[in-house]
Amino acid sequence: MRSATVPAPDLLHEQQFAFAAHLRDPGAHAPPPGIEDRRIAIYRELVFANVEGLLAGGFPVLRAILADADWHALVRAFLRDHRATSPLFPELPREFVRFLQARGDADPPWLAELAHYEWIEVALDYAEAEPLPPVPFDPLDAPLQASPLAWPLAYAWPVHRLAPGHVPDAPPAEPTCLLVQRDADGRVRFHEIGAVAFHLVERVAAQPGLTGAQHLEAMATDAGIDAGAFRAQAGPLLRQLADAGVFAPAID
């Protein structure tokens, strides 16, 4: 029945808002009046079950580590508190990562990093960039660019080793550095790398057009060590990354 004081479009908006608020947080928001609870319960269960199922499938390690009650409470908090920037279901895992990153100390300290690690594989799998064409070159002398399908990652926690019953009480002294790369055959692979390789990939991605030798010299200067000795030590690593398709000659 149309309200005598509220225009129909505004009334519909109010009802939709109340309905959505109830589905997101039934404990704090009553459903719109005049709807039988048995009917609205179907929507409550469907919304929660669909979101929970999608997140459980996208974050299997995270789901396996958390107890049922903790996992369900986390999904409920996501529904209740997060305001998504995209309406698309494929973007739901990214929204979940944003939600966990924003919570900070409200979660176990490894939670957001593990979720990001699990999400990044899907993100790279769907990335629209193309691999760099393989051409022979000397990465020391050639101006370099980094592959858009090779992403350096650094985590405080050893996210690639976390599993039920294998969660350390504290992070290790050194960060965990990984390189996630999509091969020419479309497969996404993770490689554990050292800090030097991580910073080298980061530098080339941020400053394309410099030669490998220039990057190594700058890294040596930043570290306060002899540039010639560092080039001799890190030169093979530079070539190894180039051979793996992480670097290619920069195109003017």
Domains and CATH numbers, the chain: 36-125 (1.10.150.690), 144-249 (3.90.930)
| 234 within 8 A of 200, measured Cβ to Cβ | yes
Tens-digit pLDDT profile for residues 84-111 = 887 787 889 999 999 999 987 677 999 9
C-alpha dihedral, 39 to 42 to 48 to 49, nearest 10°:
180
* pLDDT at residue 62, as a whole number: 97
pLDDT lower than 70: segments of the chain = 1-34, 36-38, 41-42, 105, 252
| 191 within 8 A of 179, measured Cβ to Cβ | yes
247: β partners: 146
pTM (predicted TM-score): 0.85
CA atoms within 13 A on the CB side of 168: 11
Structure tokens at 99: 């939600």
Q: CA 37: distance to chain centroid?
A: 38
* pLDDT at residue 94, as a whole number: 94
CA dist 242 and 147 (Å) reads 10
> For residue 14, which amino acid is it?
E
* pLDDT at residue 23, as a whole number: 66
Q: 172-184 b/e with 16+ CB inside 10 Å = b?
A: eeeebbbbbbbee
> For residue 151, which amino acid is it?
W
CA dist 98 and 100 (Å) reads 6
* pLDDT at residue 65, as a whole number: 97
Tens-digit pLDDT profile for residues 167-182 = 999 999 999 999 999 9
DSSP conformation letters of 132-144: PPP----TTTSBE
CA dist 21 and 30 (Å) reads 8
Nearest to 33 by CA among 48, 11, 49: 11
User: Which helix or strand (DSSP H or E) is residue 145 part of?
Assistant: strand 144-146
* pLDDT at residue 78, as a whole number: 93
Nearest to 39 by CA among 21, 22, 51: 22
Q: Is 36 exposed, middle or buried (0-12, 13-18, 19+ CB in 10 A)?
A: exposed
Q: Provide φ and ψ at 176, rounded to 5°.
A: -90, 120
CA dist 93 and 35 (Å) reads 32
Nearest to 190 by CA among 179, 177, 176: 179
